Amino acid sequence: MNKHKIAIIGSGPAGYSAAIYTSRAEIETVIYAGKEPGGQLTKTTEIENYPGGLGLTGPELMAKMGEQASKFGAVIKWEEAEDLDKLREEYDGVIIATGASPRLMGVGEEKYYGKGFSTCAVCDAAFYKGKTVYVVGGGDAAIEDTMALTKFASQVTLLVRRDELRASKAMQKKVLDNPEVKIMWETELVGIKGDERVEKLELRIKNQELREVKAEGLFFAIGHIPATKWLEGSGVELDKKGYIKNGVVGGVSWAKGYPTMTAIPGVVAAGDCVDYRYRQAVTAAGMGVMAALDMEKWLESK
């Protein structure tokens, strides 16, 4: 009997966790690491909220995951794979774990990743105890990040581009009635200053006045972009924001017994390319394990 062979697309927590399980189950596993090996965690410095990851940086944690997957036989290819039809011809199954990228603004923020700039307040709020921080955004995610930061920061200011919030009424109430939160309406971030860390922000008020403010932390909460554009027209169903809809064909659930299966039998998906809500490394890793177990069960059924 030939040994089953699968491809895992993506090398973040979901992809590596899936690979650890499939390779230990003696399924021949090939990981296509993609153009951003390690995913979003490679842009994170200290790790405090991943079980067992205390004291590690993001890149170190991802390197350990990769080493663990390799130890059990997974082969890592440092290349992209963006032709699902071809993959399905070459492999018995495919696990999609391509993740998502936080939406950026292009005002020089990437220079300050882990140095006063973050796209995950839930992950990093504790590092800003007693500091003055700013959050960019006006939706539910921005409100959630703002509230997470009020538990630690001395001052939290929400920068809203419009003259109203996009968040739900219930979420709006959390900040509008909160004396710990300052809101700057019709305000746009146009620049960041600082030698080694974020020190000052350049703001444009009501499209006219330019103002410079001191800042010790900056958080973006303006959405994420799932890495699924390559799946358009492939048969894998995506929602209106581009996230993969697991177990759904034409709006009807079909994958009974295989919660991570996509609209294509033998193609499962996990991590931030599916999860639009939690977007944590630990939840992505858990989903990767679910996908691996579903894949193993499905291959056995064939």
The torsion angles phi and psi of 55, rounded to 5 degrees, stand at 95, -10
The DSSP call for residue 3 is P
Residue 56, H or E segment: none
Here the tokens at position 225 are 């972009």
E strands, 73-137, are 75-77, 93-96, 100-102, 117-118, 132-136
What is each CA distance from 223 to 19, 26, 220, 279, in whole angstroms? 28, 38, 8, 11
The catalytic residue among 85, 92, 123, 239 is 123
Task: Indicate the angle between helix axes 13-24 and 58-71, nearest 10 degrees.
Answer: 20
Catalytic residue among 83, 85, 92, 120: 120
Catalytic residue among 124, 272, 275, 294: 124
As a three-state string, the secondary structure of 125-188 is HHHHCCCEEEEECCCHHHHHHHHHHHCCCCEEEEECCCCCCCCCHHHHHHHHCCCCEEEECCEE
DSSP string of 216-278?
Answer: SEEEE-S-EEES-GGGTTSS--B-TTS-B-TTEETTEE--TT-TTB-SSTTEEE-GGGT-SS-
Does residue 273 carry a catalytic annotation? no
Catalytic center residues: 120, 123-124
